[in-house]
Amino acid sequence: MLILTAKEIEKVYSMQDAIAADKQALKIYTQGDSDVPLRINFDMQKGQSLFMPAHIKGSDIVGIKIVSVFPDNPQLGKPSVPAQVLMLDPLTGEVCAMLDGTFVTQLRTGAVQGAATDLLARKDAKRAVLIGTGGQAISQLEAMLTVRPLTDVAIFDIDSEKGKQFTQQMKIRFAHFSANLYFSQHLDDDICQADIITSVTTSKVVTFNGDKVKSGTHINGVGAYTPEMHEIPASIVKKADIRVLDTKDGVFAEAGDIIDPIKQKLVSQSDFLELGDLVIQPQLCRQNAKQITLFKTVGTAVLDVYVGYDIYLKAKERGIGINI
Within 10 angstroms of residue 242's Cβ, the number of other Cβ atoms is: 20
Q: Which of 30, 34, 68, 136 binds ligand NAD (CB under 6 A)?
A: 136
Number of residues that bind ligand NAD (CB under 6 A): 25
Angle at 193 between CA 188 and CA 195, to 5 degrees: 120
Of 125-133, 167-175, 274-282, 311-319, the segment contacting ligand NAD by CB under 6 A is 125-133
CB of 289 to ligand NAD, least distance (A): 27
Gyration radius from the chain CA atoms? 19
Residues 74-113 that bind ligand NAD (CB under 6 A): 105, 109
CB of 57 to ligand NAD, least distance (A): 22
Q: Considering the rule CB under 6 A, would residue 209 count as an interface residue with ligand NAD?
A: no
Q: Considering the rule CB under 6 A, would residue 134 count as an interface residue with ligand NAD?
A: yes
Task: Determine the Cα–Cα distance for residues 182 and 78; give it in Å rounded to an integer.
Answer: 32
CB of 72 to ligand NAD, least distance (A): 17
Task: Determine the Cα–Cα distance for residues 51 and 259; give it in Å rounded to an integer.
Answer: 25
CB of 158 to ligand NAD, least distance (A): 4
Q: Report helix, strand or coil for 276.
A: helix
Annotate 139-200 with DSSP letters as a single string.
HHHHHHHHHS--SEEEEE-SSHHHHHHHHHHHHHHTGGG--EEEE-S-HHHHHHH-SEEEE-
Position of minimal CB gap to ligand NAD: 134
Q: Considering the rule CB under 6 A, would residue 201 count as an interface residue with ligand NAD?
A: yes
Single-letter amino acid code for the residue at 8: E
The answer to whether 147 touches 121, Cβ cutoff 8 Å, is yes
Q: Which of 299, 304, 308, 320 binds ligand NAD (CB under 6 A)?
A: 299
CB of 240 to ligand NAD, least distance (A): 18
C-beta closer to ligand NAD: residue 52 or 96: 52
Q: Considering the rule CB under 6 A, would residue 225 count as an interface residue with ligand NAD?
A: yes
The answer to whether 118 touches 19, Cβ cutoff 8 Å, is yes
Q: Which residues would be at the binding site for ligand NAD (CB under 6 A)?
A: 105, 109, 131-137, 156-159, 162, 200-203, 207, 222-223, 225, 297-299
